Structure 1
């Protein structure tokens, strides 16, 4: 019998669809991630009634999801460009309507079953810092529509 080990926070891998129609046909890995948080908070309403003999009732009526990601900005200093996934996120953050949305998927890089996909609105917030600091950006991906459980691409 093997001894279980602890999962590590760095197990998550984030991919961004670079295609214009956001159909999931051109995923590329978002590199340089230093922090990764996810949430999928339900909206729960009190559904208590007289028939429950004093016990509270609750009903899930909605759900929202969000990713918080901090990235180290990566550049190609030979041709003066940023990494394509970083640039797509930045451009979406300053756009409106459907241009402000991106398709993302994230999953366990070791092939465990957790894997998700959805469309999100991008918020881009450079961290700034001292003269010795790396160029980091805090990216918030706010779900716009369902978060879908998918098969892990690494499985």
Structure 2
């Protein structure tokens, strides 16, 4: 039996879905298309917990965590009926709303079925990029976590 040769994972392996249901219960996930850039972070809050009993060694305790996803998307349109893609519109409406209407449920995962997959509720920031006359219509979307980021089973595994 031969040992498989490791290969590099690609940044484009990520796929992200938005729950289109009004209840935000994960019952109607649809893919956000047109992504040209994807970043994610889950930064911990670390507090110094040093004490005299540690013989001079620093102590640290994780006391919280915040998560965020950044997307750049190419706006997609249906030029026959003059509409934007529904997942883009869900993000845009949430980006201009307040309270719970400014939140969406999202999940992102490895499109090849590897085990990394996450889900949570996020507040949406929507920022059109603008650009030159020859530029594509792009939008910067920031999804700031509001609550727990859950590790889930990859839905395509």
Q: TM-score range by the shorter chain?
A: over 0.9
Match of 2:118 in 1: 116
CA RMSD, aligned part only?
0.3
TM-score of the aligned structures, taking structure 2 as reference length:
0.98
Give SS of 1:86's match.
helix
TM-score for the superposition, normalised by structure 1: 1.00
Among 80, 87, 90, the alignment partner of 2:89 is 87
Deviation of the 1:23 alpha carbon = 0.1
Residue 53 (structure 1) aligned with residue 55 (structure 2): yes
1:2 Cα deviation from its structure 2 partner: 1.1
User: Structure 1 residue 129: deviation in Å?
Assistant: 0.3
Pairwise CA distance, 1:50: 0.1
Aligned counterpart, 1:138: 140
**CA distance in 1 between partners of 2:141 and 2:33 (Å):** 13
| Partner SS state of residue 140, structure 1 | strand
> Which string of whole-angstrom CA distances, capped at 9 and with x for unpartnered residues, describes residues 22-45 of structure 1?
000000000000000000000000
Query: Take 1:80 and 1:26, find their aligned partners in 2: how far apart are those partners?
Result: 24
What residue number does 1:73 align with? 75
> 4+ runs of 1 displaced by more than 2 Å?
none
Cα distance in structure 2, aligned partners of 1:136 and 1:94 = 17
Q: Deviations over 1:28-68 (max 9, x none)?
A: 00000000000000000000000000000000000000000
- 1:2-30 Cα shifts (integer Å, max 9, x gaps): 10100000000000000000000000000
Tell me, in whole angstroms, the C-alpha distance in 2 between the residues paired with 1:81 and 1:65. 31
Aligned residues: 155
Unmatched segments (≥5 aa) in structure 2? none
1:131 deviation in Å?
0.4
Write the deviation string for residues 106-142 of structure 1: whole angstroms up to 9, x where unpaired: 0000000000000000000000000000000000000
